[in-house]
Amino acid sequence: MTTRFDFQSLDVVGFIGQLDTSAAPARLMPVYVCSSSAEIVLPPLSESEGNVRGHAAPKERLNELVDEQEVTCLPSPEPAKPTHLLWMSPEGPRYESRERAEEALEQLAEDAIREVCALGLREDGACDLLFKAYRVRTTAVVCALLSVHFQLRGDPDQGQPLQKDLRRLAGKDTGRLERRLLDAAAPLLASSREVAAAVAREIRRAERDDLAEEILDEHVRHVTGTASEPAPAIGQLEPFRSSSSAERPVRGVRRSRSSPARHLPRFRCVERRAP
């Protein structure tokens, strides 16, 4: 049974769980304390018209929940405000307007994708970076990159949950972040036609043909004579063996002798032009 509270009577005192900055970015579930009724307000919470609805419990329960490691307290309580978000930044918990928090979160997702581009999708470190972006919001681009990452690592089983996510996203509006992340991933997609084709194929699972076609147009079909050819399959790529044979960082776009590309049909590249 939930109770309604006015934001003006609430302070944010903590969040559910035992998370620290190593879990950043993460959206936290806030715990409020009500000054007028000596109660705490626990998730699940819903917000409407300056009010928040949640499970009320006696204030003394807070100490018990902290002791039971169910709740972590903030360094100091913050006055609760409507349309605000409590989240874990790399520097610690932050409570700020939803708009500002979302922008900061999306920037972290974009930064993570850019780091993956510099590192190489096949590298082990790419996994944690991509999951950072996943925690910001479930997007087809990140799920597809993760799925391809696991295929490149020779661990397709780990990619299956991401493929489920992609199917789950079919027909859903995943928002503007998709476009931003796709742009951030451009150097990675440009570095390897096989990877670009594989990412496009994964993205189709989410029925985002618009994004898939764009990837193919930009990074696969800029090669003459390929428009009617099937996209190279990631299954033709050599699985990851060791760090020495790992995919190179994208800058320079050179491929090693063990590059999977040599197993694929030869394509003639045409010069890319700025739009």
Footprint of other proteins (CB under 8 A) = 1, 16-20, 22-23, 26-29, 42-44, 55, 60-61, 64-65, 67-70, 127-128, 131, 134-138, 146, 157-158, 160-162, 165, 168-169, 172, 174
Output 117 or 177, the one with its CB closest to other proteins. Answer: 177
Cα separations (Å) of 114 from 126, 144, 201, 208? Answer: 10, 15, 21, 22
Q: Min. distance of Cβ 44 from other proteins in angstroms?
A: 5
Q: Min. distance of Cβ 249 from other proteins in angstroms?
A: 21
Q: Min. distance of Cβ 242 from other proteins in angstroms?
A: 19
Output 153 or 222, the one with its CB closest to other proteins. Answer: 153
Distance (Å, whole) CA 63 – CA 36 = 19
Q: Min. distance of Cβ 9 from other proteins in angstroms?
A: 19
Output 172 or 241, the one with its CB closest to other proteins. Answer: 172
Both tokens assigned to 26: 């993460």
Cα separations (Å) of 258 from 143, 145, 172, 249? Answer: 26, 21, 39, 15
Give the CA count within 13 Å in the CB-facing half-sphere of 25.
Answer: 25
Output 64 or 209, the one with its CB closest to other proteins. Answer: 64
Distance (Å, whole) CA 237 – CA 29 = 42
CB atoms within 10 A of CB 159: 22
